Amino acid sequence: MEILANFAQGLSIVLQPENLMYCFIGVFLGTFIGVLPGIGSLAAIAMILPLSFYLDPTSALVMIAGVYYGAEYGGSIASILMNIPGTPAASITCIDGYPLAKKGRAGVALFSTAIASFGGGMIGMLVMAVLAPSLAQLALSFGPPDYFAVILLGLVAASAVSNGGALKGITMVVLGLMLGSIGIDLTTGDQRFTMGIPELRDGIHIVIVAMGLFGVSELIASIRDNKKGSATQSIDYNDFYPSKSEWKSLFSPILRGGAIGSFFGALPGTGQTIAAAIAYAVEKRISPQKKKFGTGVLPAVAVPEAANNSATQTAFIPTLTLGVPGSPPMALVIGALMIHGITPGPRLLTEAPDMFWGLIASFLIGNIMLLILNIPLIGIWVRLLQIPYKYMYPTIIVLICMGVYSLNNNVFDIWLTLIIGAIGYVMRLYKFEPAPLLIGFVLGPLMEEHLRRSMLLSRGDAMVFFERPISATLIAITVGILAFTAYKSISNYRRFKTSSSQLTK
Amino acid sequence: MINNQKVLLGAGLAALALTFAPVSIAAPGSWSSEPVRIVVTFPPGGTSDLVARLLAKHLDSDYGQKAVVDNRPGAAGTVAADYVSRQSADGTTLLLANNAPFTISPTRFKSIPYEPIEDFTHVAYIGASAPGLFVQPTLGINTVEEYIAYAKSKELAYGSSGVGSISHILGEAVDAKLGIQSIHVPYKGSSPAIQDFRAGVLDMFYDMVVQNKDMIADKEAIAIAIASPERNPQTPNVPTFREQGYDVVIENWVGLSAPAGMDAKTTETINDTVLAIFSSDEVKERLIELGITHSAMTSAEYTQFVADSISTWAPLIKSAGIVEK
């Protein structure tokens, strides 16, 4: 079993004290950020990104991954106790988690979500260990036209399945593409949209966009909400472990959630929120307890947690094997690796096997750490929710400013982050999701790069995209998704029209 | 008596002259009680950054001169150069200078916020590394002559590490010198270009030769020629363009520059210290590994070198068609 040998090799790398430490820092920070309502894993990863530049790439990757899946563990705590999702993906957990807490079963709910997250994480890890190498093998034969087609598919998928609706999703992707075109044109060397500002010549740094959109704007939003910052439900530690029949009722939802989550995590451009929402919707149709969904049943909190956590692991599959982010935070991972001089892509597995298998093994170690952090040490996180935000959020703003300044040692970047944060807040008010924007921002320049490279190499013949089997297939899938989305929105519109015309009659 | 006095006076004057001669004033050693900042035009991790860190380490360990590396990447090195030009010339801020802000940017960009000669004290030259031409082994080409013959029968595509990079400028210079035309495919840095080369997407690429010596040894790429005046001892089997009858010399140099108006004594001390560090065996070996050939220059020679390289590169940059409109 080659996979086992590789995994053992990865394990030996993660078990080095230094990597263990960064893994722990990652999952701890992730849980911390996940517990705090409003700040998601994107903001957390954006904040540690500048720090990761100074680490060994493997340690950096292990730490970033830890933040990413750790946040999904922590995210459910505020959902259950306060009915406020700690992360966007945990909003699904609110639906049944909070009713459970109101029934006095917060402890069982927290325990079940931790177990479900662990189960989902392990499923995601297995899927990644088995699938990623073969996908990378396939991707080795990818040329620039094929990459262009993959990225196009990712962009369309990201906008079509975004939570706020396809039109808003596409708008945000396009805005991201536009922001991404600022700076020097890779093919001609000309400046685009730099308005004579030298700091814009190299484009806007991804950390600035991410911190602005996800850090600053979320902080502004939470000031406006004026949240008090105290958990309204307490935990009864006597009622912490599920009963035998409840254990049984958790098993298959965790498997199903893990499987659905793995699929959507690996689909470029989607992510754990969509995975959790779909897993919940599916479970609601097939669960024996489906009638009670929404009133506070354990399978209904286990399913989205298993799904969102498995999605956080499989999101690394397209990220590392194709260089196409599986979810918005993965866009930051690509940025982090590129700063280390590592271009994620099919060669990563053969050129940096230690990093790849070390990361997979770190999923096991990290999830075990999280189990410990979230079951015996749950009290710490509950108490964290009682710290007033007036102390918490100014501290986070200072950290954001420090992180952004450290990118280029330039104050301009801090101002830019604040401006983007303000714009992000306005977008939020009108329910435009920032995540598709980030995907567009990262993928746009990549897509352009591969498009123009394909055209250069084909001597200007656009047929190259339809002649190659891989790119032709991917473009066909993309057209299919677009057609389906268009059909759906047209039929929705018709239904809306008929119902409204009936109303006027 | 008189003769003796004259001799004595002469000896005294000679001694005095010696004392004031630049060589004897300065000796390698620390020049500031403050820590020195070495500003690098690239983010951490590249060759330039490694040279700066090597220098900082030895300044401290060998001469007790504390030094830190300050990475200020951006706008082809002009952000860092502009920043350094506005600092105090007391020897506490130095720029790890290279082609990008001093040789390429002045010609390439419409305006840059500094004068490459007047706004700096060019202190010490460190060394240079050379790029070369690599082709697919399947093409069956080994020499410049064979390359010309092949390229005339079929338009080839070459990868570079970006528009305005040394590899791009070399590619265009070689095309012009050899009287051929090829398609330029720019990448973000050399490693993605090499990835595509390995995947068979590109026919050829230009990049630093020594950095790719493993590819040459593994026969994954044929190095047709290197653009240095002499062969590099690390890659003795790679001939130069010059020895194959085509005078193409384009090197990536690094040096140490400071804000304008630094006093002669500090300049000499820094020059002597830097030269002493880079001629020690240990450091020399590291430089060779990085593909950099070190040579010693005085501050004046280095200033002349920068000025000369601006004028020798200008026509290359103009003919590459990358001058900003």
Contact call for residues B171 and B182 (beta carbons, < 8 A):
yes
CB contact under 8 A, B162 and A186: yes
Token pair for B293: 């050939």
Mean pLDDT, residues A187-212 taken together: 82
State the pLDDT at residue A502.
55
pTM of the model: 0.73
Query: What is the tens place of the pLDDT at every residue in A57-106?
Result: 899 999 999 998 898 888 888 888 877 777 777 878 888 888 888 888 88
Token pair for A460: 């200007």
CB contact under 8 A, B70 and A409: yes
Contact call for residues A82 and A231 (beta carbons, < 8 A):
yes
Q: B183-186 and B293-294 as β-strands: parallel, antiparallel, unpaired? A: unpaired
Cα(A11)–Cα(B27) distance, integer angstroms: 53
Which runs of consecutive H residues, i.e. helices, occur in chain B?
2-20, 22-25, 47-63, 78-85, 99, 105-108, 144-153, 166-178, 190-198, 213-217, 264-279, 281-289, 299-319
Our CA-based measurement puts residue A412 at a distance from the nearest CA of chain B, in whole angstroms, of: 12
Percent of chain B with pLDDT over 70: 91
- Judging contacts by C-beta atoms under 8 Å, the chain A residues touching residue B157 are 456-457
- Judging contacts by C-beta atoms under 8 Å, the chain B residues touching residue A182 are none
CB contact under 8 A, A140 and B74: no
Mean pLDDT, residues A277-305 taken together: 84
Confidence label for A271 from pLDDT (cuts 50, 70 and 90): confident
Our CA-based measurement puts residue B199 at a distance from the nearest CA of chain A, in whole angstroms, of: 7
Mean pLDDT, residues A292-319 taken together: 88
A194 to chain B, any CB pair closer than 8 A? The answer is no
Domain with CATH 3.40.190.10 in chain B: 131-244
How many domains does the structure of chain A reveal? 1
Q: How far is CA A78 from CA A34, A35, A86, A479, in A?
A: 8, 6, 5, 40
A143 to chain B, any CB pair closer than 8 A? The answer is yes
Cα(B38)–Cα(B114) distance, integer angstroms: 18
- Judging contacts by C-beta atoms under 8 Å, the chain B residues touching residue A410 are 72, 74, 79
Token pair for A240: 């912490």
- Judging contacts by C-beta atoms under 8 Å, the chain A residues touching residue B201 are 143-144, 457
Q: Which of B43, B157, B201 sits opposite A143 (nearest CB)?
A: B201
Confidence label for B244 from pLDDT (cuts 50, 70 and 90): very high
Nearest to A109 by CA among A302, A244, A310: A302
Mean pLDDT, residues B16-30 taken together: 56
Least confident interval from A17-31, A198-212, A423-437, A486-500: A486-500
- Judging contacts by C-beta atoms under 8 Å, the chain B residues touching residue A144 are 196, 201
Domain with CATH 3.40.190.150 in chain B: 11-128+252-319
Our CA-based measurement puts residue A202 at a distance from the nearest CA of chain B, in whole angstroms, of: 6
CATH of B131-244, one of 3.40.190.10, 2.60.40.720, 3.90.420.10, 3.40.50.1000: 3.40.190.10
Contact call for residues A326 and A320 (beta carbons, < 8 A):
no
Contact call for residues A454 and A144 (beta carbons, < 8 A):
yes
At A476, the amino acid letter reads A
- Judging contacts by C-beta atoms under 8 Å, the chain A residues touching residue B163 are 184-189
Token pair for A153: 């598919």
Q: Say yes or no: domain B11-128+252-319 is CATH 3.40.630.30.
A: no
Choosing among B79, B83, B108, which should be mutated to test the A contact, i.e. which has the most A CBs within 10 A? B79
How far, rounded to the nearest angstrom, does the alpha carbon of residue B228 sit from its chain's CA centroid? 12
CB contact under 8 A, A189 and B163: yes
Cα(A138)–Cα(A129) distance, integer angstroms: 15
| Helix or strand run (H / E) with residue B69 | strand B67-71
Strands (E), A141-259: 183-184, 191-192
Cα(B116)–Cα(B104) distance, integer angstroms: 11
Query: What is the tens place of the pLDDT at every residue in A391-446?
Result: 777 877 887 787 788 777 788 999 999 999 999 999 888 888 777 787 788 778 88
Max avg pLDDT among A228-242, A254-268, A355-369, B272-286:
A355-369
Mean pLDDT, residues A457-465 taken together: 88
Cα(A34)–Cα(B80) distance, integer angstroms: 38
Q: CB pairs below 8 Å between A and B: how many? A: 80
Q: Which of B70, B195, B325 sits opposite A343 (nearest CB)?
A: B195
Our CA-based measurement puts residue A58 at a distance from the nearest CA of chain B, in whole angstroms, of: 15
Mean pLDDT, residues B231-246 taken together: 91
State the pLDDT at residue B22.
46
Mean pLDDT, residues B248-273 taken together: 89
**Average pLDDT in chain A:** 82
A196 to chain B, any CB pair closer than 8 A? The answer is no
State yes or no: pLDDT of B12 exceeds 70: no
Chain A: residue whose CA lies nearest to B183? A456
Nearest to B73 by CA among B51, B56, B95: B95
Strand partners, B207: B132
Higher pLDDT, residue A144 or A433: A144
- Judging contacts by C-beta atoms under 8 Å, the chain B residues touching residue A53 are 43-44
Confidence label for B183 from pLDDT (cuts 50, 70 and 90): very high
Mean pLDDT, residues B252-271 taken together: 89
Q: What are phi and psi of B88, to 5 degrees?
A: -75, 140
> What is the DSSP code (8-state) at residue A417?
H
- Judging contacts by C-beta atoms under 8 Å, the chain B residues touching residue A340 are 45
Q: Provide the domain limits for residue A177.
A: 2-504
Cα(B246)–Cα(B176) distance, integer angstroms: 11
Contact call for residues A181 and A444 (beta carbons, < 8 A):
yes
State the pLDDT at residue B144.
92
Cα(B175)–Cα(B166) distance, integer angstroms: 14
Q: B204-208 and B252-259 as β-strands: parallel, antiparallel, unpaired? A: unpaired
Q: How far is CA A149 from CA A143, A145, A272, A463, A478, in A?
A: 10, 6, 23, 13, 8
